[in-house]
A and B are shown apart, each in its own frame.
Chain A
């Protein structure tokens, strides 16, 4: 749950009081075009950017854990994983080394064998390219690897930042379908930032539209989102 979060870089304010909530087991889309604060919000949740104001709280089994002021390492340790914008793989390490690094956190090490088998089954292409350097993969393969690497950390909450960027439409569909598959097999809660409205709403239960650092609209279903004028204006070209 995120409440009244304000954040920015230096003197530039990016988020102006953002509040949103993601419930357990949901897939929520965070929609917005470039530069509206989607990535910044995900970075705040992960502890990469420290919010100037507001609360970010993880509620689990009645326990409330504030995420503000924690380091990314600690937040990963709480079971939250981010598939970052631009994928950020380790290009000079092999596919397998990238995956194993995903399992760095203690809870994940215990489940490493099962997770690795799962990832190689779910992403056959990664199995074929196990010993190749991550930097030599194609864009679509890299996005798959970034997803798989995040799953290796046995997260309960998966944050995905713009999985569609730089991919051909057919690959975007595949990546989006994989996110749903992972969510179902691992009982994940997913928050996905995306500007590709049509793709995001394929798997989202509901969503938020963020404009200039503020939540402009909360759609309780994908239908509500599709019918909203902002979406019509920005995404559907109606």
Chain B
């Protein structure tokens, strides 16, 4: 049952899958890791992005990635509105911890039910000429269906990293949860900084959704599968570290892939949470936390 080929394939698939996990988790790393906003609805926004790509692809004939990129400004505005509502209703009054959670639960249901009413429970997928193709690199087989999402996810991660480390806004985003009064003394408005960062987090969901539907068909409730996993990645990666998120995604992707290949897919998620528990016990700040 064990063979070197199988191992290579599993590792490659795991790395590619891990890249995609990074794309889904970036928004959580931003919102949860840097802004202290427990946006459990992020995977639901990813599903919404996936349906956006589906509509762009099936109705307008767009490439799914192009559709995902075109959806970003819309998602950006959506994120801004969601944050403003969240801020005015909960954060401003200081009762965001529990009620905020309920608010995001509500958003999950609104998104899921809306998609159900509109598109039903059938699995939907996208078409693009390259999706069935593969690239042979010696002993390694790279299916485009996974390789392209991986490349796009890396690009997205890099862009976000550059934004956070090289721009004034980015540095303010990293500072905002540490001391918001001090940030005001630097001349930056914490509410505006958080609105921008949250909007960017939601914008990444548009692209992540396009990647999700390229990898496999989806229906409105598949986002739930990702809630636990993306939070595990954000915590594992060290809460707010973009590099850490990528590393944690790749580690989890490879481990899950190995588990699915050698023990069965139903164990995959158990491994994610097993690792999370071990890391929390040994290194509570996460693998790459400061």
Q: Contacting chain A: which of B65-73, B103-111, B166-174, B207-215?
A: B166-174
For the complex formed, measure the closest distance between the CB of B180 and the CB atoms of chain A, giving whole angstroms: 10
* A90 and B181 in contact, given A101-B172, A153-B187 (Cβ under 8 angstroms): no
Residue A71 at the chain B interface, CB threshold 8 Å: yes
Complex alpha-carbon distance, A97 and B182, angstroms? 14
For the complex formed, measure the closest distance between the CB of A159 and the CB atoms of chain B, giving whole angstroms: 10
A81 in complex: contacting residue of B174, B185, B290, CB < 8 Å: B185
For the complex formed, measure the closest distance between the CB of B23 and the CB atoms of chain A, giving whole angstroms: 25
For the complex formed, measure the closest distance between the CB of B154 and the CB atoms of chain A, giving whole angstroms: 24
Complex alpha-carbon distance, A81 and B182, angstroms? 11
B188–A104 touching, CB < 8 Å: yes
Residue A72 at the chain B interface, CB threshold 8 Å: yes
Q: Mark B213-227, 1 if CB is under 8 A from A, else 0.
A: 000000000000000
- Residues of chain B within 8 A (CB-CB) of A93 are 171, 174-175, 178
For the complex formed, measure the closest distance between the CB of B30 and the CB atoms of chain A, giving whole angstroms: 15
- Residues of chain B within 8 A (CB-CB) of A71 are 184, 189
Q: Which residue of A lies closest to B178 (CB)?
A: A90
Number of interface residues of A (CB under 8 A): 28
For the complex formed, measure the closest distance between the CB of B207 and the CB atoms of chain A, giving whole angstroms: 27
Complex alpha-carbon distance, A149 and B182, angstroms? 11
- Residues of chain A within 8 A (CB-CB) of B172 are 101, 104
For the complex formed, measure the closest distance between the CB of B184 and the CB atoms of chain A, giving whole angstroms: 4
A88–B186 touching, CB < 8 Å: no
Q: Mark A131-161, 1 if CB is under 8 A from B, else 0.
A: 0010000000000000001000100000000
- Residues of chain B within 8 A (CB-CB) of A18 are none
Residue A92 at the chain B interface, CB threshold 8 Å: yes
Complex alpha-carbon distance, A108 and B187, angstroms? 10
Sample of 12 A–B contacts (CB below 8 Å): A88-B185, A90-B174, A92-B178, A92-B290, A93-B174, A97-B171, A100-B168, A101-B171, A101-B172, A101-B186, A105-B187, A153-B186
Most buried by A among B183, B184, B186, B290: B186
Complex alpha-carbon distance, A72 and B178, angstroms? 17
A90–B187 touching, CB < 8 Å: no
A105 in complex: contacting residue of B174, B175, B178, B186, CB < 8 Å: B186
Instruction: Bin the interface of chain B by size.
Output: 10 to 19
B: residues with CB less than 8 A from A are 168, 171-172, 174-175, 178-179, 181-189, 290
B188 in complex: contacting residue of A73, A84, A89, A97, CB < 8 Å: A73
Complex alpha-carbon distance, A109 and B179, angstroms? 21
Q: Mark A33-59, 1 if CB is under 8 A from B, else 0.
A: 000000000000010100000000000
B186 in complex: contacting residue of A48, A91, A104, A133, CB < 8 Å: A104
Complex alpha-carbon distance, A72 and B186, angstroms? 9
Most buried by B among A73, A82, A84, A103: A73
Additional A-B contact list (15), CB under 8 Å, known A48-B181, A89-B182: A48-B184, A71-B184, A72-B185, A72-B187, A73-B187, A90-B182, A91-B178, A93-B171, A93-B174, A97-B171, A100-B168, A104-B168, A149-B186, A153-B186, A153-B187
A84–B178 touching, CB < 8 Å: no
Q: Which residue of A lies closest to B239 (CB)?
A: A92
Residue A77 at the chain B interface, CB threshold 8 Å: yes
B185–A84 touching, CB < 8 Å: yes
- Residues of chain B within 8 A (CB-CB) of A89 are 179, 182
A58-114 residues at the B interface, CB under 8 angstroms: 71-73, 76-77, 81-82, 84, 88-93, 97, 100-105, 108-109
A72–B290 touching, CB < 8 Å: no
For the complex formed, measure the closest distance between the CB of B179 and the CB atoms of chain A, giving whole angstroms: 5
- Residues of chain B within 8 A (CB-CB) of A84 are 181-182, 185
Q: Mark A107-130, 1 if CB is under 8 A from B, else 0.
A: 011000000000000000000000
Q: Which residue of A lies closest to B188 (CB)?
A: A104
B185–A76 touching, CB < 8 Å: yes
Q: Which residue of B lies closest to A43 (CB)?
A: B181
B186–A76 touching, CB < 8 Å: yes
Complex alpha-carbon distance, A84 and B175, angstroms? 16
- Residues of chain B within 8 A (CB-CB) of A100 are 168, 171
B178–A77 touching, CB < 8 Å: no
Complex alpha-carbon distance, A104 and B174, angstroms? 13
